[in-house]
Amino acid sequence: MRGQARFALNHMAAPRASAEALFTLAAELGFEGVEIRNDLKGTAIADGTEPDAIRAAAEAHGLRILSINALQRFNDWTAARSAEAQELAEYARTCGAEALVLCPVNDWAFRPGEQARLDGLRRALSELRPILHSRGLTGLVEPLGFAESSLRLKREAVEAIEQTGGSETFRLVHDTFHHAVAGESEIFPERTGLVHISGVADAELPFSAMRDSHRVLVGPRDRLGNVSQVRALIKGGYSGFLSFEPFAESVHALADPRAALQESVAYLSDGLESEAA
């Protein structure tokens, strides 16, 4: 199973690096793909870097831009959200990105009734479908496992995609952190377009208290079952990328994260190989 693991680098793994530095790091690690973000101040996209420059830099390093991460609050559809989605989708198309990650509202203050919540999800998917399809993009729906999230479970995303006829446009992000925090048991390998990987090593932390700040690189102390999750996805037919997305400051503060990433790759690869044996 080692040969089936394909790794990518989300800009959150090195958020203080420029896009060029991120691409260099990914290429030096032997990765094939990267995810760029629109929420990192001082780096592309937020610094105004033209999409053509991002495309050229990725091509120079032989990298695929797997996604722009992300259109936030996608399931709270408004005129402003529509304009933002079109702007991001156009940037994605021009820079050569393959997909746009879609994150739901993650806010206790957003409490529509159950029917209104699901109706809002379906409306957003219906509105996004032509925006993405016309630009040749995939929409990667990423349920967030936090208790305050308006879309916690992948099952709800799958059902809404089917109900809106969006199966050719939308795929899931299986985030190993959010899968564990949500207490999910179902996985959808055939519906998954991208996997985000990160670990939690704090042995005392209850799952209900886990936040982005606890998300480190996956290693021997991982409590989220990354190896088991990824193995189940691969066994179910998933053959896409595993994208490193740690949020912890301990990772972001590394002057050179190359060695730490290499150790995590080795741990994951060895784990997948041994479980398959």
What pLDDT, in 10s, does the model give residues 14-48?
999 999 999 999 999 999 999 999 999 999 999 99
Query: Would you state the pLDDT for residue 126?
Result: 98
Q: What is the rounded distance in angstroms from the CA atom of residue 272 to the CA atom of residue 232?
A: 10
Query: Would you state the pLDDT for residue 1?
Result: 42
What pLDDT, in 10s, does the model give residues 236-255?
999 999 999 999 999 999 99
What's the CATH number where 197 sits?
Answer: 3.20.20.150
Mean pLDDT for all residues in the chain: 96
Most distant CA pair in the chain, distance: 52
What pLDDT, in 10s, does the model give residues 132-164?
999 999 999 999 999 999 999 999 999 999 999
Number of domains composing the chain: 1
Residues of the domain holding 272: 2-276
Q: How far is CA 236 from the centre of its chain?
A: 19
For 43-61, b where at least 16 C-beta lie within 10 A, e where not — what string?
A: bbbeeebebeebeebbeeb
According to DSSP H, which parts of the chain are helical? Answer: 19-28, 51-60, 79-95, 114-133, 154-163, 176-181, 226-235, 249-252, 258-276
Per-residue CA distances from 253 to 14, 109, 216, 245, 256 (Å)? 9, 32, 12, 14, 9
Sequence-distant (6+) residues with CB within 8 A of 84 are 71
